[in-house]
Amino acid sequence: MNKLLLLACIFISHKSFSLELAKYPIELSSGQGTNVIIAPTTDKKQALVKVTGINHDIDGIVFLTDLKPHGSNSAYKYTFDGTERSLVSVDDGYRCCSYTLYIPDTRDGTYLSKKEESNPAIVEDLKAQYEQQLTKGIQVELANFNREKHLKYQQKNISAANDLVNKQCGLKIKTNLNWESISDANLKEYAVGSYCAQVAKEMAYMCENSKNFKNFKNDIAQFNNIECKFTDELKLRKNGNTIIFKTAPKAPNQGEFIKSYLLNL
């Protein structure tokens, strides 16, 4: 464990010891094996939350969450993979309350129903689990941005586009990108792989619709590489058998820009 991680664990652990938790927890269930325990603080501003019964890294981990606004409702929020996220949202409308679980890397929420009675012994047990996991640095590790995971996902987008060119155009082409030049901030905010895959995807589309783009397959047969650069300008040029593509995330109509360039090779 490095020094920064150790200091973070000590700080968060110290914070946990001073938590004043309400006597009774909130026990929730999806009815299909997913269970959530929420142990709010007495001031209701924070809560320890544990989710079980899901196939995910957060299963069984106790997080210290903050109760914050979430649209027109509120949610218990925590940091996962470098980003603050809602773990459980609370709709305190007419019948207070309905709860929805949000599992990282999934699109849809899981609706939860509340048990009528709760066991106060759960609160101290939950706190003990939280403190034990903190000493191991589990929550801190999950809170850190997982660069390798994001890189693999974005690289798959590019590989899929290259394969599509091979299928539709009969052309083996490789889209290259210097991933070391991509900051964590850009990986968090933008689908870098999708941006860089745009040229290959446009090629595949034009080959698939070759009746509308005559001789296009012959025009692009000269290329075997696409060099992508993630910048603040949108630009295309060719250098031998390589298409050099500068993509800018804020530039509009990139698909049309690429198509126009390819038609004028």
For residue range 60-80, list pLDDT tens digits in order: 999 999 999 998 899 999 999
Which candidate, 24, 56, 54, 12, places its Cα nearest to that of 36? 54
Residue 11 has pLDDT above 50, yes or no: no
Proportion of the chain above pLDDT 90, given as a percent: 83
Task: Judge if the upstream peptide bond of residue 228 is cis by omega within 30 degrees of 0.
Answer: no
Which candidate, 57, 60, 52, 48, places its Cα nearest to that of 15? 48
Residue predicted with more confidence, 13 or 109: 109
Separation between Cα atoms, residue 52 and residue 30, nearest integer Å: 11
Residue 133 has pLDDT above 60, yes or no: yes
Q: Contact at 8 Å (CB) between 109 and 100?
A: yes
Q: Band of the pLDDT at 4, cuts 50, 70, 90?
A: very low
Q: Band of the pLDDT at 17, cuts 50, 70, 90?
A: low
What mean pLDDT, rounded, does the chain reach? Answer: 91
C-alpha count within 13 angstroms, C-beta hemisphere, residue 86 = 20
Q: Tens of pLDDT along 162-199?
A: 999 999 999 999 999 999 999 999 999 999 999 999 99
Length of the chain: 265
* pLDDT (0 to 100) of residue 94: 63
Q: Residues near 82 by Cβ (< 8 Å), separated by ≥ 6?
A: 143, 144, 145, 146, 184, 188
